[in-house]
Amino acid sequence: MSPLSDRPFQFAVLHQDRGGAARLGCLHTPHGDVPTPVFMPVGTAGSVKAATFEQVAATGANLILGNTYHLYQRPGHELIEALGGLHRFQGWDGAVLTDSAGFQVFSLNERVKVTEDGVAVQSHLDGARLFFTPELSMQIQLSLGADIVMAFDHCLPAASEPAAVAAAAARTGRWLRRCVDAFGAGGRCRRGAYERVLFGILQGGILPDERRRAAEEIGALDLPGYAIGGLSVGEPKPVLHELAAVAAALLPAAKPRYLMGVGFPDDILAAVLAGVDMFDCVLPTRMARTGSVLTWDGRLVVKNLDYARDERPLDPQCACPTCRRHSRAYLRHLFQAGEMLGPMLATQHNLWFYQDLMRGIRAAIAADQLTAYARATTQRWQNGETDRQTRAARRPPGGRRRSKPAN
């Protein structure tokens, strides 16, 4: 493992895009510096699915996400702590951010019961009843050894009633104060050999006024960083972009802003333009496992018959090991044959694509060209998506291509 830095966690804004809210920055963590804007691969259960940590690091990623809910159930936070913490346990030299288990309130909606004390949830593994509280969430994440710990929050679907959204946002604020009390003053805690920090989460659904009220409340705690939660949970894409911009403007400018669970390239570009610094999403790994890859010209479903004889790389513009060595035809064969190498190669490409996107964004901000870069990249992506959907509409069941569109 690489040596730890004794330097306390710090976020520095290095440059702000001329005439816009986007900024180039750096997260100084005990496990290394992380340039922002940054995309974090998701390592749910102690692994980034279908990739080795050497492959993840080779993409340029140096901050990944771990999942509190899953790691609590197996192998257990106490075991991981006894074996040296999550970094050592999984063999990752970079920084780690852990979520709080709060998202499971949303994703396991039919299995949960929320009270002021916490959340009762039925395990998806064995049906056991679990009870998460802000205090337990802090305990688990500190045991895991995350550099960045997320507060326990209450997230609701986009279509929730305004009264329910307001109640959840208020509860998130109360739970945040309990998290701070359990974690440490100012959201900082030195445990073992290095400092850990706590980020608050802004809820409020699609209600700007509720977001504003909640932002004032959590901003007064002056934590090391803040996240925007409760988006990408079923709202239309224009609403996602609008609310991300509203929420980012409400959060302290001197602190990192993290948009949780987002997303596609056009979503990331829109949020960076609004001043967001950090992102995570399961899209690159989840899509890869089902035979979909991301390119600058939209998604490519490599399992389709169209690519059976296609000798081109997944994306001619990509320099990842998959694209340097293998063809679309070969990837399609692997998926058709059920070979595990297919999802592995697709995952490697998708992870590389996201890091290439973030490198391009950072370079554009440094050159004061982000608006033009975002416009061109988004237009190219959306044009590709339109073409993909048109081709899919012309493809009959079973994947055979028609010679002409159906009447």
Residues marked active site are found at: 99, 280
Rounded to the nearest 10°, the torsion over CA 139, 144, 150, 152 is -40
The two tokens of residue 20 are 């816009």
Residue among 314, 323, 298 nearest 384 (CA):
298
**Three-class DSSP labels, 137-177:** HHHHHHHHCCCEEECCCCCCCCCCCHHHHHHHHHHHHHHHH
- Alpha-carbon span 398 to 205, nearest angstrom: 40
Contact 212, 250 (CB under 8 A): yes
Partners of 119 in the β-ladder = 114, 132
Q: Which residues pair with 12 in a beta bridge?
A: 26
| Separation of alpha carbons 267 and 381, rounded Å | 11
E strand map for 210-321: 225-228, 257-259, 278-280, 292-295, 298-301
In whole angstroms, what is the distance from residue 265 CA to residue 380 CA?
11
Residue 315 CB contacts under 8 Å (≥ 6 apart), including other chains: 293, 295, 296, 297, 300, 323, 349, 353
Structure tokens, 329: 């035809």
Spatial CB neighbours of 60, under 8 Å, sequence gap ≥ 6: 355, 358, 359
Copy the structure tokens of residue 368: 């004061």
Q: Which are the contacts of 203, defined by CB distance < 8 A and separation ≥ 6?
A: 153, 154, 155, 156, 165, 168, 169, 172, 211, 214, 229, 230
